[in-house]
Structure 1
Amino acid sequence: MKQLVNSDTLLGGFFGLVALILLRSSYHSSDVFLLPGDAPPFLVAQLALYAVLALSLAILIKGVLRGGVAPGDIRWRPTFLMMALLLMTTVLFKMAGYLLIVPLAVAGCCLILGYRKPVPLVGLSVAVPVATYLLLVKFASLPLPTIPGLEF
């Protein structure tokens, strides 16, 4: 029997599970006020979560088809660091605000993946959060947590 433990199955399974939990909670949120004819408030977020779920399942299937590797060959440190980064980002997201936590999370993700050049690292850490902020807040009108004491 093939070994199924590898970075693809671990990360694909983890992100798929997170997407499922967030999707479930988005459908069971009872404190949302809707007017007749309004689009559901979590529609854009749910579509993004469905995309994450589909990509996670594709990564998981790729990992299963690829098969496992010998336990000594697995790079566990980046896998667990990425999971810890996602968990820490999720916990601190609402307390510290989107524009403070997400740039740090993107920079941490880049460092875990081995990107060390300062210009691309800073560029990605600024461009990704600003682009997603503009997309979600300005165009999709979704509220994101703000930095405490700072309103945009």
Structure 2
Amino acid sequence: MKKLLLVGILAIFGLNPFYGQNNFNVGIQGGIPLGDIEDFSSFELGVDLAYRFTFVEIVEVGPLIGYSHFFGKDDFDDLSYLPIAASGRLGLPQSFFAGFDLGYAIALEDNVDGGLYYRPQVGYQFPTFGIVLSYAGIASDGFDVGALTFGVEFKW
């Protein structure tokens, strides 16, 4: 059974026409909390995984899942969210890009609501990685969670 599973995985990745296009992206970012959360949190740290399909040379769209952790200040507890979103990128001249993620962030703590997840971003793409500046926001019933983030994104 293990051999069959291994052969299946190799076949999928070996025959997948998108695999050679570096569409898998793993991003790591840190940020300064903004909005309602800035009174309760001192720092945000996040990671995300995206697979974007290339439609034309400068447009990529696909699913994204992530994890965002807000570290609590003083006596406040940490908050964590699991964003699930659609992710889009538009290539700009000179290796710059603009992007936007839109979806829903699931709160991972009890008594905390999830909400609309949005993340506009700009960045610069090197051959195998990029640097990204973004605002990650979660809009939830009268409580806005956000962070100005800077990160790095690896492609393979």
Same fold (TM over 0.5): no
Determine which structure has the larger strand proportion and give its number: 2
Q: What's the TM-score bracket when you normalise by the shorter of the two chains?
A: under 0.3
Structure of higher RCO (CA pairs closer than 8 Å, 6+ residues apart): 1
Compute the TM-score of the two structures, normalised by the length of structure 1.
0.27
